Chain A
Amino acid sequence: MLRIFSIPKISSRTYKVWLRNKDVFMKTIKINFIPQLLEPILYLFGIGYGLGFFVREIDGLPYVEFIAPALICISMMNSAFFESTFASFVRMYYQKTFDAIINTPMNIEEVIFGEILWAATKSMINASIILLVVSSLQLVRLPESLLLIPLSFLVGLVFASIGMCFTSLVPRIEFFNYPIFLLITPMYLFSGTFFPMSILPEQIQTISLLIFPLAHAVNISRWLTTGIAYSSIALSLLWLVVVAVPLTILSINLMKKRLIV
């Protein structure tokens, strides 16, 4: 039991795994860039302006400004979670990429940590792209909102390690549907994303704040982009940091357990 929280042996070589994934990403960046830019714009217009036509404003904020930080956070979550589940699973299981790398002086801990760091980087890249869009539409405060960029890495780290835990457990790739339906979708809806959490029953609010990283990400982000804090920003930040570290360690050890037999 204790072994799954033991500190992994990691050196700066981890960077090489990150670099491998970056190289692949850069090759396809022209294809990757457009959908990533398009998706939040669609949401922004479809929901922000569409639904916003009826909702008008929430707590004094125009609806589109209310959801802009949430859209950025959802993108952080989706990109990091997708990368450390489907994408990492493909590399691990179908492509045998990890097997090839651990035949070199790299160890499995470095491979997994490199994957997690890359997934967090994807979160940062995507968040930055959307930030660019919402800034140009003047939906966010500047320069405060620039802090979303480092935040997106932290949030990415949390979701990447959660995803990696599932990757260490699923027998087949289809099984990722379970965490998506049971965890990601409810989190997506009930983290103060499209409406304030205060309208939810109190128990659900408590549960959300206890277990949903997205709730804290949205809380901090909305404060950065609008200046309005729905709950303690310091607590949200502390929650993310405190959760990120053990989750990362846990996911690395679980993956090691799966792969080193």
Chain B
Amino acid sequence: MKKSLISTMSIAISAEDLTKKFDDFLAVDHINFQINRNEIFGFLGPNGAGKTTTMKMIQCVSPKTTGSLIVNGIDVEKDSRSVKDILGIVPQENNLDPDFSVLKNLLVYARYYNISEEEAERRSFEQLDFVQLNEKKDVMIDKLSGGMKRRLILARALINKPRILILDEPTTGLDPQARHMIWDKILSLKKEGVTVVLTTHYMEEASQLCDRLVIMDLGKIIEEGSPQELIQKHVGSHVVEVDNTPAVMKCLTENGDKYEEFANRVHVFAAEPEELSSKLMKRCNFDKVTVRQASLEDVFLKLTKKALRD
């Protein structure tokens, strides 16, 4: 009894056999995951993998088809209002209110949480400062740049001081400065005890931020772990890149090396990169060999390659 209580306290979100069907189409296919409190947890996966669908079920705006989904100890089906009260949402699709100015967007949004007017104003200015939109506070939404809109949406998501933050591609369309600013903020929110769920197509972002992540494809979770674990497991420490020619392919196959083939390049996975590259250059007369550190992108490409092809 006591043990299960402790384990539910330390788990922010847990899903068991979670499924989402749109008519006959299975968008999320029996997925299981547990997100610990105070961790940054990533969902990666190609377009249409089911990331946003999963986020929407967590957000209690799209009902699950089967399975169980517990957020902050609460069943999403039983008490969605209490769940939504402690969530902050950055949706993939911008939905700022175009009928209002930047500041008024935050004030009106705070009202939906029953936050008092005074407090809403205080928090709004605090958030505007943080996303550096103070100068734009009286500007209408359609006069903002794409990146400014994303920043304002993040500010809006923080207006209720959420314990769990759901970020569906938060930095898409941001310039490098703004992206780093948001990364900093995510890390400092983590320090304050916030749990962050993040989807992204930027592998660098996932590597830098995520404590753990899952890779989804075709509605299923196909891999799970920390970025480092996944890189070690699937790629090794380094990658040797060479041009894709018939001679290269023949040599690689004969050697029995682990590699991934692309249209113009071949990525050869290596634990001992220098050894491998000199071996390849000697034995197969390769030129244009590049050695680099293995990254999450290699893992992603390897695991989701089929989906990219069709």
Contact = CB atoms under 8 A, between A and B. Distances in A.
Contact of A24 (B62, B87, B99, B113): B99
Given A99-B61, A260-B63, A107 B95 contact: no
B98 A95 contact: yes
Nearest to A97: B97
Given A19-B111, A100-B97, A260-B63, A107 B80 contact: yes
A105 B85 contact: yes
Interface in B142-190: 160
A23 interface: yes
B108 interface: yes
* Candidate in A97, A102, A105, A261 with the most chain B CB atoms within 10 angstroms: A105
Contacts of A99: 61, 91, 93, 95
A101 B113 CA distance: 10
Contact of A104 (B62, B93, B109): B109
Given A96-B93, A99-B95, A16 B112 contact: yes
A102 B95 contact: no
B209 to A, nearest CB: 22
Interface in A70-124: 95-97, 99-107
A13 interface: yes
Contacts of B91: 99-100, 103
A20 interface: yes
B61 A104 contact: no
A23 B108 contact: yes
Contact of B84 (A95, A103, A261): A103
Nearest to A15: B111
B104 to A, nearest CB: 8
Contacts of B104: 23
Interface string A5-29: 0000000010010011001100100
Nearest to A94: B98
Chain B interface residue bracket vs A: 20 to 34
Contact of B62 (A27, A106, A260): A260
Interface in B57-89: 59, 61-63, 80-82, 84-85, 87, 89
Contacts of A19: 111
Nearest to B101: A27
B112 A105 contact: yes
- B-side interface mostly: loop
Contact of A16 (B62, B94, B111): B111
Interface string A220-261: 000000000000000000000000000000000000000011
B100 interface: yes
A261 B25 CA distance: 12
Given A13-B112, A16-B112, A105-B81, A97 B95 contact: yes
Given A105-B113, A260-B61, A100 B96 contact: yes
B22 to A, nearest CB: 7
Interface string A43-55: 0000000000000
Nearest to B22: A261
* Candidate in A19, A27, A100 with the most chain B CB atoms within 10 angstroms: A100
Nearest to A99: B95
A23 B112 contact: no
Nearest to B81: A105
B67 to A, nearest CB: 17
Contacts of B96: 100
Given A97-B95, A103-B84, A105-B84, A24 B100 contact: yes
Contacts of A24: 99-100
Interface of A: 13, 16, 19-20, 23-24, 27, 95-97, 99-107, 260-261
